[in-house]
Each structure stands twice: as structure tokens, then as C-alpha cells.
């Protein structure tokens, strides 16, 4: 089974963040037997004044072609600002190839997007973020690039929620297009879709299985637990770095200046340039 773990780095995205995330991603790729690939060149958008056209999140949809070119059985995408705990499991060990997966939550489409004919025909109203995904070669339409409506029309379907409009790094229609497009592709192509908690529930487990140590409670000292991925999208980059450092400390993981030692060899694909 050939697997590739993709991430994104257009225009040298926040080196202070990727210095924290890349070592853990590479360790995870090694653990699950995946290549590690960074999408770092624009093929679907152009930089410039048109922020919708220049928004790098749409470059994630290169996976639609890259997955075929690399002959991947599985394509996993994780945003470059997401932390991966070394004890994160491999979803491809038990996810059927006819089913796509995201991490822990879905939005209700009519809250964030205008429902078009595909959403209404499908009826599930699954609204996705696009920071984590697991997609097999059977389901690459999850990342089917925009082709039947214009970018302006797609942007007009996006409506940030109140907390997104008032966040330190406010959202707008243009930087929601990638979320809308993934959600629309699930509906347009009738893709099966599950979340990590749905998968784990079949084994009598839940997503919060990482032991974070003990805390004082009214009932005495008790262990607290959390999930194996950490991602937040509304803070500024500077705020993210602080939050990520706090999360690493809570996990008991030190990345800098002490490097993480990865056993064996990480295979970094030559299809896209890998930046450490």
C-alpha cells in the first residue's frame, strides 16, 4: 500500500511554525510507512492583488493529480500549522477505501455556505474544514479542483461565522473557498465520509486518548486526556506559535533545540520539493 503524507508550503509559509510541525509530521510519516511531500509550487492559483486567486489553500487540490501521478493508495493531508503527536494512529489501517475521513468535526453547510444543487441533492449538508483529510485513490474527487463554477461564484457561497469575522486573523469569503469546495465535492460526487471518532467508536475507543498528566479536581488528582492532533486557525501566526509551544509542553515533547530522533529513514518524495 503506497501512502503519501502531504502538507502545504507556498511562499515560504511561517518558518517558525513549520520548525515545530515538520519534525513531528516526518516522524508520523515514518511510523505509518508513508512518503512525506510538501506542495510548495503554485499550479492552480496566481499570486497578486486578487486575494481569492492568490489564496494558497487552493493549492491543496493538486492532490487530485499528484495522487494519481504518485500512484498512491492513500493520500493524507495535514496543514503545515498542525501538530501531530507521535502516538497518532494510522487511519488507513482500518478505513475502507470507499470512504473519506476528516479529524473530529463537521459543520452544518447552511451555517457557513450557501447550499447549491449538489448540497441539496446530497442532503447530508456536511461542511468541512480542510486542514486534515484521508483520501484513497478511489476517492480523489475529494480534491477535485474547481471546474464548473468560477472562483468568484465559489467565494460568493461562503459566509464566515461571527467568531471568524471577529478573530485576531479574520476570515473572509476568499479564504473559505477551499473548505466550501471540499464540502461541495463530498456532495457532488456522493463521497462517503467519516470522522476519526466514528472510526474509533467501533473499537470501543475515543479520540481523547493521549495522557496529559494529572490535574487537581474536586475529586482529587485525576489524569487528563487529549487528542493526538492540535490545530487552530483563527489566531495570528504569533499567537499560534505560543499556543503550539504550550501544547508541546503539555505533551512533554521538546523539538528545539533538542531534535526528535527518527528511527530508520524517511522517504521524501521527489515529486515535490521538501523543505525542512
The reported pTM is: 0.89
In a domain, 156, yes or no: yes
Pick from 200, 2, 190, 187: which is nearest to 98 by CA? 190
DSSP 139-199: GGGGGPPP-SS-HHHHHTTB---HHHHTSSS---SGGGHHHHHHHHHHHHTT-EEEEHHHH
Residue 264 has pLDDT above 70, yes or no: no
Q: In the structure grid, which three cell numbers stand for residue 103, read together? A: 479529524
In a domain, 67, yes or no: yes
For the segment 154-210, what is each residue's pLDDT rounded down to a tens digit?
Answer: 999 999 999 888 888 887 777 899 999 999 999 999 999 999 999 999 999 999 999
Tell me the three state secondary structure of residue 214.
strand
Residue 98 pLDDT grade (very low, low, confident, very high; cuts 50, 70, 90): very high
Residue whose C-alpha cell is 447550499: 115
Residue 54 has pLDDT above 60, yes or no: yes
In a domain, 256, yes or no: no
Average pLDDT, whole number, for the chain? 88
In a domain, 206, yes or no: yes
Return d(Cα 133, Cα 5) in angstroms, integer.
10
Tell me the three state secondary structure of residue 186.
helix
Give me the pLDDT at residue 218, please.
72
Residue 51 has pLDDT above 60, yes or no: no
Pick from 129, 135, 145, 141: which is nearest to 44 by CA? 145
185 phi/psi in degrees, rounded to 5: -65, -35
Number of domains comprising the chain? 1
For the segment 75-96, what is each residue's pLDDT rounded down to a tens digit?
Answer: 999 999 999 999 999 999 999 9
At 93, which CATH number?
Answer: 3.90.550.10
In a domain, 258, yes or no: no
Residue whose C-alpha cell is 491543496: 60
The whole domain housing 47 covers 3-251
Tell me the three state secondary structure of residue 182.
helix
In a domain, 194, yes or no: yes
In a domain, 270, yes or no: no
Give me the pLDDT at residue 119, please.
98
Residue 270 pLDDT grade (very low, low, confident, very high; cuts 50, 70, 90): very low
In a domain, 170, yes or no: yes
Which of residues 154 and 263 earns the better pLDDT score?
Answer: 154
- The total number of residues shown for the chain amounts to 276
Amino acid at each position: 500500500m503506497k501512502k503519501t503524507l502531504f502538507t502545504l508550503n507556498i511562499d515560504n509559509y511561517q518558518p517558525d511554525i513549520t520548525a515545530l510541525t515538520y519534525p513531528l509530521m516526518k516522524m508520523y510519516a515514518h511510523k505509518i510507512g508513508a512518503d512525506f511531500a510538501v506542495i510548495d509550487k503554485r499550479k492552480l492559483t496566481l499570486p497578486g492583488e486578487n486575494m481569492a486567486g492568490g489564496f494558497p489553500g487552493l493549492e491543496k487540490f493538486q492532490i487530485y493529480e499528484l495522487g494519481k501521478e504518485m500512484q498512491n493508495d492513500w493520500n493524507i493531508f495535514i496543514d503545515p500549522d498542525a501538530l501531530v503527536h507521535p502516538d497518532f494512529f494510522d487511519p488507513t489501517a482500518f478505513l475502507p477505501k470507499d470512504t473519506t475521513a476528516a479529524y473530529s468535526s463537521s459543520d452544518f453547510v447552511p451555517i457557513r455556505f450557501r447550499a447549491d444543487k449538489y448540497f441539496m441533492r446530497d442532503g447530508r449538508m456536511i461542511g468541512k474544514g480542510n486542514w486534515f483529510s484521508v483520501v484513497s485513490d478511489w476517492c480523489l474527487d475529494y480534491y477535485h479542483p474547481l471546474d464548473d463554477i468560477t472562483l468568484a461564484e465559489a467565494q460568493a457561497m461562503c459566509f464566515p461565522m461571527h467568531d471568524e469575522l471577529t478573530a485576531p486573523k479574520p476570515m473572509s469569503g476568499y479564504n473559505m473557498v477551499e473548505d466550501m469546495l471540499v464540502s461541495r465535492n463530498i456532495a457532488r460526487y456522493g463521497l462517503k465520509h467519516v470522522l476519526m471518532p466514528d472510526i474509533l467508536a467501533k473499537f470501543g475507543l475515543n479520540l481523547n486518548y493521549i495522557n496529559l498528566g494529572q490535574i487537581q479536581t474536586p475529586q482529587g488528582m485525576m489524569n487528563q486526556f487529549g487528542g493526538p492532533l492540535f490545530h487552530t486557525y483563527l489566531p495570528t501566526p504569533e499567537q499560534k506559535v505560543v499556543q503550539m509551544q504550550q501544547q508541546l509542553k503539555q505533551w512533554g515533547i521538546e523539538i528545539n533545540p533538542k531534535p526528535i530522533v527518527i528511527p530508520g529513514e524517511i522517504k521524501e518524495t521527489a515529486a515535490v520539493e521538501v523543505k525542512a
